Amino acid sequence: MHSLSLDWHGDFSFASSAGSPAIQLDSGKPDVASPMQALAYAAMGCMAMDVVLILKKGRHDLTGLKVLFDGERSADHPKRYTTMHVRFEVKGNVPEDAVTRAIEMSREKYCSVSNTLRPDLDFKTSFTITA
């Protein structure tokens, strides 16, 4: 089980609590990631790490990788992503079929973030109130 915590810093600003890995989120500042942008970064990072691992294990000559994201969100609440497009810019002498396979393996089997976004997600909430 993973346990994380955020502390509220006023307005729409949150940052990781002591003992949690560093992150800052803010829906009101363009220079700080919003929760939806953090979700996109998480999907991009997860898939990118898988692709690098798979290509390196295949002993391919990967010399660089850039990942880009485009997404559209619903106009109505909860304003979820209705489309997500993750693009990979691969550098090196890597065969096209190896990149295709690495991306497919990440998307279908290994990326825990993109697989968490599936519609059969068991999503739960709870809360506590303290004075």
CA distances from residue 44 to 12, 55, 70, 77, 103 in whole angstroms, order as listed: 24, 16, 11, 24, 11
Q: What is the pLDDT of residues 78-127, one digit of tens each?
A: 898 999 999 999 999 999 999 999 999 999 999 999 888 878 767 787 76
Task: Clarify whether residues 47 and 65 are in a common domain.
Answer: yes
Does residue 123 sit within a domain? no
Task: Clarify whether residues 18 and 80 are in a common domain.
Answer: no
Does residue 129 sit within a domain? no
Q: 13 near 23, Cβ under 8 Å?
A: no
Phi and psi at 127, nearest 5°, equal: -155, 160
Task: Clarify whether residues 20 and 40 are in a common domain.
Answer: no
**Number of domains into which the chain is organized:** 2
Task: Clarify whether residues 75 and 63 are in a common domain.
Answer: yes
Q: 55 near 94, Cβ under 8 Å?
A: yes
- Extract the tokens encoding 118: 């599936």
Q: What is the pLDDT of residues 23-57, one digit of tens each?
A: 999 999 999 999 999 999 999 999 999 999 999 99
Rounded CA separation 87/131 (Å): 46
Task: Clarify whether residues 38 and 86 are in a common domain.
Answer: yes
Would you say the pTM of this structure is higher than 0.85? yes
> In which domain, by residue range, is 83 found?
34-116
> In which band, very low, low, confident or very high, does the pLDDT at 129 lie, cut at 50, 70 and 90?
low
Phi and psi at 45, nearest 5°, equal: -65, -40
Task: Clarify whether residues 17 and 55 are in a common domain.
Answer: no
Task: Clarify whether residues 94 and 61 are in a common domain.
Answer: yes
Task: Clarify whether residues 25 and 58 are in a common domain.
Answer: no
